[in-house]
Amino acid sequence: MPLNILTAINHDVDYFDKVWEAINKDGCWEDEISNFRKNGEKYFLHITITAVKGHTGEISNYVATLADITSSKEATEKIHQMAFYDPLTKLPNRRLLLDRINHSLAIATRQRREGAILFLDLDNFKTLNDTQGHDVGDALLKQVAELLTECVREGDTVARIGGDEFVVLLENLSEQKFEAAAQVEMIANKILTALNRPYKLGEQEFHTSVSIGVVLFGDKNRTQEELLKQADIAMYDAKKAGRNNLRFFDPNMQDAINSRAETERDLRIALSNNEFQLYYQLQVDRANNPLGAEALIRWIHPERGLVPPLKFISLAEDTGLIFPIGLWVLESACAQLKAWEQNERTKNLSLSINVSAKQFSQANFVSQVKMVLERYEVNPTLLKLELTESMLINNIDSILHTMEALQDVGVRFELDDFGTGYSSLQYLKQLPLYQLKIDRSFVRDIVTDNSDQAIVRTIIGMAKSLNLVVIAEGVETEDQLKFLIENGCNNFQGYFFSKPVPIDDFELMIKCCDNKLQ
Say whether both 307 and 404 belong to one domain.
Answer: yes
Does some domain include residue 518? no
Q: What CATH number does residue 360 fall under?
A: 3.20.20.450
Is residue 508 classed as helix, strand or coil in its secondary structure?
helix
Asked if 355 contacts 385 with a C-beta cutoff of 8 angstroms, the reply is: yes
Final residue in a domain of this structure, among 218, 249, 280? 249
- Same-domain pairing of 324 and 220: no
* Domain termination residue (choose one: 31, 46, 75): 75
Contact 49, 9 (CB under 8 A): no
196 plus 293 within the same structural domain: no
- Give the E-state strand segments of 146-287 in sequence order: 157-162, 165-170, 197-201, 204-208, 210-217, 246-248, 276-285
CATH of the domain at 215: 3.30.70.270
- Each residue's pLDDT tens digit, 103-154: 888 888 788 888 999 999 999 888 888 888 888 899 999 999 999 999 999 8
Q: Is residue 273 part of a domain?
A: yes
d(CA 55, CA 295): 96
The pLDDT tens digits for 365-383 are 999 999 999 999 999 999 9
Assess whether 39 and 124 both reside in one domain. no
* DSSP β-ladder status, 204-208 and 350-354: unpaired
Which residues touch 222 (CB under 8 Å, ≥6 apart)?
105, 230
Range of the domain at 346: 264-512
List, for residues 445-503, the tens digit of each pLDDT value: 999 999 999 999 999 998 898 899 999 999 999 999 999 999 999 999 999 999 999 99
Please indicate, yes or no, whether residues 239 and 374 belong to a single structural domain of this protein: no
Same domain, 98 and 189: yes
- Is 423 a residue whose pLDDT tops 60? no
Is the domain of 221 the same as that of 93?
yes
Q: Which of 28, 45, 75 is the last residue of a domain?
A: 75
- The model's pLDDT over 383-399, given as tens digits with 9 standing for 90+, comes to 999 998 777 767 788 88
Residue 127 lies in a domain: yes
187 close to 152: Cβ distance less than 8 angstroms: yes
Bridge-based pairing of strands 197-201 and 204-208 is antiparallel
pTM of the model: 0.62
- CA-to-CA dists, residue 123 to 116, 117, 196, 296, angstroms: 22, 19, 10, 47
Residue 381 shares a structural domain with residue 410: yes
Is there a domain that residue 257 lies in? no
**Is the separation of the CB atoms in 237 and 247 below 8 Å?**
yes
- Asked if the structure places residue 255 within a domain, the reply is no
